[in-house]
Amino acid sequence: MPDNYFARYLPLLLQVGIALALAGGMVILSALVGKHRYSRAKMSPYECGMTPVGDARERFSVKFYLVAMLFILFDVETVFLYPWAVLLKELKMFGFWEMMVYIGIVLVGLFYVWNKGVLDWSGTPRISVGTPAMTAGPADAPGSTPVFSAPVEGSRS
Amino acid sequence: MSGNLSVGWFVLISVIKILIAVPILLGIVAYTVWLERKLVGHIQNRWGPSRVGPFGLLQPIADGLKLFFKEDLTPPYVHKALYLLAPILSLTLALTSIAVIPVGGWVTIRGARIPLQITDVNVALLIILGITSMGVYGVALAGWSSNSKYSLLGSLRASAQMVSYEVALGLSLVGVLILSGTFSLRGIVEHQLGGFWNWNIFGGGQIVAFFIYLCAAYAETNRIPFDLPEAETELVAGYHTEYSSMKFAMFFMSEYANMVTVACLASVLFLGGWSGPLFGPPVLQALLPVFWFFLRVLFFLFLYIWVRGTLPRFRYDQLMAFSWKFLLPLAIANVIITSLVVALRS
């Protein structure tokens, strides 16, 4: 069996190709096989029988951006741990203490965002509770959607 | 590995392995759905599917056929290219990630040693993490391109949830990496062979990491108790509300294929992979590891369904707090303790 870098990754490429062909084939086949009969109701977004108001791509809560940013920070920090973890048996105590410095910095960052209330999903968006924007329409302020509606009591910062 | 195989044979063997593995995976996916309906049925004191074939065993095939013949609707208000791309991306990634999972040791056919694994890459763990974390694109694109409020909310929730638990998941694996000293999944299993006290969960003391991994994995695959992206009582079906026919089924299949991948990875990383008692003639000795491996995978799939039948759903703020305020510090503590023990011993 050829044992070089390319040979290790070639089956992976083949797998991607076969999976892609399978997935693409399914989409094409179901488009060809199924019947197509259109009506007005079918052509509008599904909202449990209500007539949709406005576009779906409204602004949404800034929390989602914050989580995405935190993810990038902490995931990169996790990836930094991987090579160290694999080599720890050779690095021994020296490697351990070195990494403790790094993990200490990560922990300081974690407790900073924790204290700032970034990790709290309820309580912080006090601005949107009871403001005129809330009564304007069904899909305006993200704080008004039932998903993240904040309990007013116990809100911090 | 011996160099007595030409490139042509190598490609042929790889294609054969893929063509065996992918249908098996799809079969497991189909029958996990059957098992889930059956078990949840019994948990809720009813029968589950029982009409199509004995014990309803032909139900998945009937469902698959039905979905193919359903109306395949591409609504006019969607972003067409991304709307089509999302299910293809989800399913392709879900079917690809099994390529690096080792299901057994080696078999020798005509003097050539062939690993029971599609490819043995030395950074297999990184590849599998990369592929599974790209799955979030399928979900995010599906929700955004659908241009429906339920879809968008579902996909936003799903993306935020998946990236949040990704961090805890990644950190829970560091302990295993410290113990085994390699990224190769085959290497990690070979490190745990020889009795269950060698498994990372017991001998390695990674039981906390195993718990973190399991929680994060349930959240990554959007399963109860973390199934908020498709909380049907509030969001209809989440990010795939606007999908019909086979395109809907593809999201469904990719979710279950991801469950199988996660179960395989849990067995490989924590439960010793294919380790188990070997006996009998050589053929049996070659096949028993595969059996032990699938037994573990089946156990995890059963656990998924059991948890689904037992636990209620989290609230969204609880879900986020659980990941960032509980699992993440716990995972960091686990990394510190494991590395201290290993560093002191070596």
pLDDT for residue B70: 81
Least confident of A70-74, A86-90, A107-111, B3-7: B3-7
- When pLDDT is cut at 50, 70 and 90, the band that residue B5 belongs to is low
Chain A: closest CA distance from residue B195 (Å): 23
Q: How far is CA A126 from the centre of its chain?
A: 24
Inter-chain CB proximity B22 and A42 less than 8 Å: no
Read off the pLDDT of residues B12-40 as tens digits, 9 standing for 90 and up: 888 888 888 889 999 999 899 899 989 98
A46 touching B, CB under 8 A? yes
Task: Search chain A and give the residue with CA nearest B326.
Answer: A119
Q: Report chain A residues whose CB lies below 8 A from the CB of B108.
A: none
- When pLDDT is cut at 50, 70 and 90, the band that residue B212 belongs to is very high
pLDDT for residue A1: 52
Q: Could you tell me which residue, A123 or B6, shows the higher pLDDT? A: B6
- When pLDDT is cut at 50, 70 and 90, the band that residue A157 belongs to is very low
Chain B: closest CA distance from residue A126 (Å): 15
Q: Of A7, A30, A74, which is closest to B246 when you measure between CB atoms? A: A30
Counted across chains A and B, CB pairs separated by less than 8 A come out at: 250
Q: Could you tell me which residue, B106 or A154, shows the higher pLDDT? A: B106
Task: Tell me how far apart the alpha carbons of residues A23 and A17 are, in angstroms, rounded to a whole number.
Answer: 10
On the question of pLDDT at A30 being above 50, the answer is yes
pLDDT for residue B334: 92
Helices B207-220 and B149-172 cross at an angle (nearest 10°) of: 160
Inter-chain CB proximity B68 and A29 less than 8 Å: yes
High-pLDDT (> 90) share of chain B, %: 14
Mean of pLDDT over chain A: 74
On the question of pLDDT at A94 being above 80, the answer is yes
Q: Could you tell me which residue, A30 or A56, shows the higher pLDDT? A: A30
Residues 6+ apart with CB under 8 A from B245: A30, A34, B67, B68, B70, B71, B72, B73
Task: Search chain A and give the residue with CA nearest B14.
Answer: A11
Quote the ipTM score: 0.83
Q: Of A1, A12, A122, which is closest to B317 when you measure between CB atoms? A: A122
Residue in the structure block whose two tokens are 């005509």: B110
